[in-house]
Amino acid sequence: MALIRLILAAAFAVLTPALASASVPALGINYGEVADNLPPPQAAASLLRALNATKVKLYDADARVLTAFAGSGADFTIGVPDRLVPRFAADPSAAAAWVRSNILPHIPATSITAVTVGNEVLSGEDATMLRSLLPAMEALHAALAACNLTSRVSVTTPHSLAVLSSSFPPSSAAFRREILPYMSPLLGFLAKTGAPFLINAYPYFAYKADPTGVDLGYVLFEPSATAGVEDEATGLHYNNMLHAQVDAVRAAICKANYGKGLEIRVSETGWPSEGDDDEAGAMPENAARYNGNLMRMVAEGKGTPAAPGEPLVVYVFALFNEDQKPGPASERHYGLFKPDGSPAYDVGVKSPAIGGWKGSGGGGGGGNGTSSGGAGLVVAQGPGGADGVGPGTGYYTVSAAAGNKVIN
């Protein structure tokens, strides 16, 4: 545990504002709210300051959170929930109304730098969602252009690794044939607008599926404990699985002829600190090792073997344990912190006291989840406006999303 504390303390310590100003990549954190016991956003802001995390990703456009972070300097990625994707595609005025309700009231006091449209839509099987994704993104981009915000706010969408037909060796990866009619024009949109390609990548699921066959050191960023793997086609050596997964996405993008000028960001990755009996590796020690080593890698500005000169932007999942998430126990234990602000495991930093609040209804995600069309997708309707375009909370279960296949 002493080694774990040193790893994590080093990771957090280097992520200071002074270093951030010196072009060291900033740490990103996913701030999920699918819980009924979370502290108010002001308390979350204190925890993020303790982490020196300057990039925050939401799954909605929670006005309470955006207001609480006004003047903080944190860069926010906010989300359009899945339920609004077909609406935006069919009615661009709905996208314009959403921008007026969810972005304009908060800028420039709160820095909003990106909007995600849906979550892992192309991994699903809902034909309407598949057809609607790009038109919805285009409608939102047009709404931002009408407000002269496209130079400040990009439009993108996160994908799971299930969009790949294969992933190893990385150089052999390609997008699934059936989604290419949707993926290819989407890549063109990202390239044209300068928006990043977002991938949710969880080496944990590969280890969970085959704990005897997958090297734990390889998935936990511990090169001294693993021989790593080599891509014989390129000669590139990989000493951790996350880099191999990212370069698999890079190869797939190149095969689709949009390899240049398209940044890849890891929009989610993490490790659960607790799980069910059949969830191998879900324990505090492994979570500390994974997230600690990951944060140190981000702080060092390391790129992947295929793009060593491009520091990898990563968003850790997640800030809090979320007690209302469905699925196996691991779903509710990805947080760096418990709802009372105490560390879920030893993260090597002293978290500020955030007491003095009542833990009922503190989260914006609620527990009134309803099934949605995409495979492995769960949507909580959340507090939407009367016209259907107000703030709403979309979320999904990472275990279900990864269930289509295990990506090595």
322 is catalytic: no
Mean of pLDDT values over 245-266: 88
pLDDT tens, residue by residue, 16-64: 333 333 355 678 999 999 999 999 998 898 888 878 789 999 999 999 9
Query: For residue 1, is pLDDT > 70?
Result: no
CATH number, span 27-163+177-202+263-337: 3.20.20.80
Mean of pLDDT values over 196-208: 97
Q: At what angle do helices 92-102 and 127-146 cross, to 10 degrees?
A: 60
Distance CA 81, CA 79 (A): 6
CB-neighbour burial class of residue 3 (10 A; exposed 0-12, middle 13-18, buried 19+): exposed
User: What pLDDT score was predicted for residue 40?
Assistant: 93
Q: Name 139's Cβ contacts closer than 8 Å, sequence gap at least 6.
A: 88, 89, 92, 94, 95
Distance CA 294, CA 180 (A): 31
Q: Which amino acid is at 8?
A: L
Average pLDDT, the chain: 83
User: What pLDDT score was predicted for residue 271?
Assistant: 98
Q: Please report, to the nearest 10 degrees, the dihedral formed by the alpha carbons of residues 250, 118, 51, 398 taken in order.
A: -80
120 is catalytic: yes
pLDDT tens, residue by residue, 225-241: 778 999 999 999 999 99
C-alpha angle 277/325/295, rounded to 5°? 80
- DSSP conformation letters of 190-258: HHHHTPPEEEE--HHHHHHH-TTTS-HHHHTT-GGG---EEETTTTEEESSHHHHHHHHHHHHHHHTT-
Distance CA 334, CA 325 (A): 11
Mean of pLDDT values over 306-327: 95
Q: What percent of the chain has pLDDT over 70?
A: 78
**Which residue is it, tokens 């409608």?**
139
The model's pTM:
0.83
Query: For residue 8, is pLDDT > 50?
Result: no
User: What pLDDT score was predicted for residue 190?
Assistant: 96
Identified catalytic residue from 33, 138, 268, 331: 268
User: What pLDDT score was predicted for residue 33?
Assistant: 94
User: What pLDDT score was predicted for residue 22?
Assistant: 39
* Residues 30, 318 contacting (CB under 8 angstroms): yes
Query: For residue 2, is pLDDT > 70?
Result: no
Q: In this structure, what token pair is assigned to residue 146?
A: 């009408």
